[in-house]
A and B are shown apart, each in its own frame.
Chain A
Amino acid sequence: MRQLIRSNTFRWATAVAVVFAIFMIAIFGFIYWKIDGYLISRSDRMIAQQLNFMAALPRDRRADAIADHLGQDSRGVQYAGLFDPAGNRLAGNLREVPHGFRIDGGAQAAKASRIGQSPSGDPLIRAVGRHLDNGDVLLLGRNVDETREISTVVGQALALGLLPTLCLCLLAGVWLSVRAQRRVEEVNERVQRIIAGDLSERLPDRKVDDPFSRLAAIVNGMLDEMEAMINALAGVGNDIAHDLRTPLTRARLSLERGRTHATTLEQLQVVTDKAIGGIDQSLAIITALLRLTEIENSRRSAGFGNVALHEILREVCDVYEPIAEDKSIELGVDIDRKLHVWGDRDLLFEAVANLVDNAIKFTPAGGKVGLELLRSDQETTVCVTDTGPGVGEQEREAVLRRFYRSDKMRNTPGVGLGLSLVTAIVKLHGFRLVIHPGSGGRIEVVCPDKANGPNLPPR
């Protein structure tokens, strides 16, 4: 209950109810004030007319007229009085001219004392008085207590309207806040489950277009992303463990065998060389992983400068030409013109070298590997093509995964991190890596003129 009162929705509902009540009271007050004014002015006009009528009568008939006037008043609301110039009563039911009464023909409020009534119960009346032609004073009045009745009626109407409205407001507030609280509670329960490790849990989505559902949909989208990422990470962890264990196991086995069976120094050296080879392979994996992390976490652009891509392409070609020749692969470089990008020279060299390395590795003897530098409207593109098996549509995402090695290439040596490195470098520069599917590999590094990577060039 305390939680309910403290809830925001409930507070707002209460505030709205209060504002609504103030508004209603103001309206009813206005209505009362207007009706009251109208009734009083009407009664004022009536008594003024009667006064004029009586004043116009002959002097001897006035007392009778007054008696008639009062006699017809069954409710006892009419007041009348005829006084001589000295103030003595000649006729009517008024005891005297009220104190301070202005005898000028204008309607005014006055305290009237009636004959046969104690002065304490004197009601407040509206009265008009005027001097007659012979100096007498004639007073006519009317009790306006009726207006009080009206106010009672208005008050009752107000109560009748206001109370249910207030209750309705509060009920709506309670309902809304309970509903909101239930949903928050539900979300909380599920989030607790997610925190506890159940990554497949999702927030309730009612498929309705309300803000709460939309928020749930957004959070669910985020959870999908995170689940995929965490699963991918777990996969990478397993892959790392596997890829590290394999060469270490080999090293351990040969060392163990050597320790038991080696009888000469030469035998022991052979065994040790094998073991060192295994350890080196594990170390190469660790080095590549660390380098990958280093590049991915690098937020600096300190090493950035104007990089001549055509020079990098020529250098890479220079380094790999003998390798390609040994495999009877033709390595060609086609440079449109001299093109520069903003970036880290060493890293871009590494990226291009890795792409060419891969292309040569996956191209069978007699094939071709091409390096092109292209320029379109707002982009500079480095394109590496080969006549190898290429990347299948279903493999396109997989090749970017860490440690991915195509089944066809199971036996090709390598760490399986080359493309991950290229991806990391490309991302750091705000460039794009495009892998074209189909037979014959084609990978492009697209460098937009306005690269919006984490390291914007200071232009």
Chain B
Amino acid sequence: MMKVLLIEDDAGTAEEILAELSELGFDVKWASNGIDGLDKARALDPDVLIVDRMLPGMDGLTIIEALRKEQVGTPVLVLSALGAVDDRVRGLRSGGDDYLTKPFAIVELIARIEALLRRPADSRGTSLRVGALELDLIERTARRGEREIDLLPREFRLLEYMMRRSDQLLTRAMLLEEVWSYKFVPATTNLVDVHMGRLRHKVDGPGEVQMIHNVRGSGFILRAQQ
């Protein structure tokens, strides 16, 4: 069972997160302040940390810095009501960890935790394969079974990202950040949907089993099997 440590001072928020994560089968522990949080992080050795930015006792980023200094590489999801235009956060993001601005949808939180727990497929290979779908990273070509798929560069990029994280819920915010490196919420809310629609049209041909699934209100999943 995956161990999750939540360091969050607001009891109401913590309660919801704890309930949701336990239901999904995670072993969740909770610390309500920074000092206790750092102690628990050292003692419990969790698989993933969820840390609030502003905490009584010790700032969330300080906890992470302390852990990193001790060579603890546990992936961290930072929660914050503060904006993300912050150098320290930029640094954090580049370190492979994630940042979620409050308020957030609970599905978004779950998707981010799963993404942190499941490192993407090895990126050194020259091709990717999910079910019948195959992507040649050198030739930049795609095929589904025998059928060639003609992709635009932006569609190729999107599909590559999804294939590296197959069977994983990818929220719109995640796709915007990772595929288009958006650091803000676009004014056009269906931006991702339009792009996904195009890609799905090409990937899931007529009469074929659907591979790209739209999870209502949450995001998209690329599944190998039905």
Contacts and interface: CB of A to CB of B under 8 A. Distances in A.
Interface of A: 273, 276, 283-284, 287-288, 290-291, 294-295, 298, 300, 302-303, 315, 318-320, 322-323, 326, 346, 349-350, 353-354, 357-358, 360-361, 413-415, 418
Given A319-B180, A323-B194, A346-B183, A361 B83 contact: no
Given A284-B185, A287-B101, A318-B154, A323 B191 contact: yes
Chain B CB count within 10 A is highest, among A284, A346, A418, for: A346
Given A357-B187, A415-B187, A294 B195 contact: no
Contact of B83 (A294, A326, A354, A358): A294
B85 A298 contact: yes
B188 A323 contact: yes
Interface in B92-109: 101, 103
A249 B105 CA distance: 20
A291 B87 contact: no
- Interface pairs A-B: 6 shortest CB-CB: A294-B83, A357-B187, A346-B183, A322-B194, A350-B184, A318-B154
Nearest to B187: A357
B64 to A, nearest CB: 20
B217 A273 contact: yes
A323 B189 CA distance: 11
Nearest to A280: B105
Contact of B85 (A294, A319, A354, A361): A294
A357 B191 CA distance: 10
B218 to A, nearest CB: 12
B53 to A, nearest CB: 14
B42 interface: no
Nearest to A344: B85
B187 A291 contact: no
B195 A322 contact: yes
Contacts of B187: 354, 357-358, 361, 414-415, 418
Given A273-B217, A287-B101, A322-B194, A357 B83 contact: no
Contacts of A283: 103
Contacts of A288: 185
Contact of A357 (B180, B188, B194): B188
Contacts of A295: 85
Nearest to A323: B194
Nearest to A322: B194
B56 interface: no
B54 to A, nearest CB: 15
B186 interface: yes
A283 B101 CA distance: 11
The interface residues of chain A, by DSSP majority, are classed as helix
A116 to B, nearest CB: 114
B83 A290 contact: yes
A326 B194 contact: yes
Contacts of A298: 85
Nearest to B180: A319
Nearest to A416: B187
17 contacts: A273-B217, A287-B101, A291-B83, A294-B83, A294-B85, A302-B87, A303-B87, A303-B90, A318-B153, A319-B191, A326-B194, A350-B183, A354-B187, A361-B187, A413-B189, A414-B187, A415-B187
Contacts of A287: 101, 185
B147 interface: no
A283 B217 CA distance: 16
Interface string B168-206: 000000000000110111111101001101100000000
Contacts of B103: 283
A198 B195 CA distance: 55
A318 B87 CA distance: 28
Contacts of B186: 353, 357
B88 to A, nearest CB: 11
Contact of A322 (B85, B101, B181, B198): B198
Nearest to B194: A322
Nearest to B195: A322
A35 B154 CA distance: 109
Contacts of B183: 346, 349-350
Interface in B107-162: 153-154
A326 B194 CA distance: 8
B101 to A, nearest CB: 7
A286 to B, nearest CB: 9
Contacts of B195: 319, 322
Nearest to B176: A319
Contacts of A413: 189
A294 B86 CA distance: 10
B189 to A, nearest CB: 7
A451 to B, nearest CB: 20
Nearest to A273: B217
A414 B187 CA distance: 7
Contacts of B154: 318-319
Nearest to B87: A302
A282 to B, nearest CB: 10
A295 B217 CA distance: 30
A421 to B, nearest CB: 8
Nearest to A290: B83
A302 B189 CA distance: 30
Contacts of B188: 320, 323, 357, 360-361
A414 B83 CA distance: 21
Interface string B3-46: 00000000000000000000000000000000000000000000
A322 B201 CA distance: 13
Contacts of A284: 185
Contacts of A349: 183
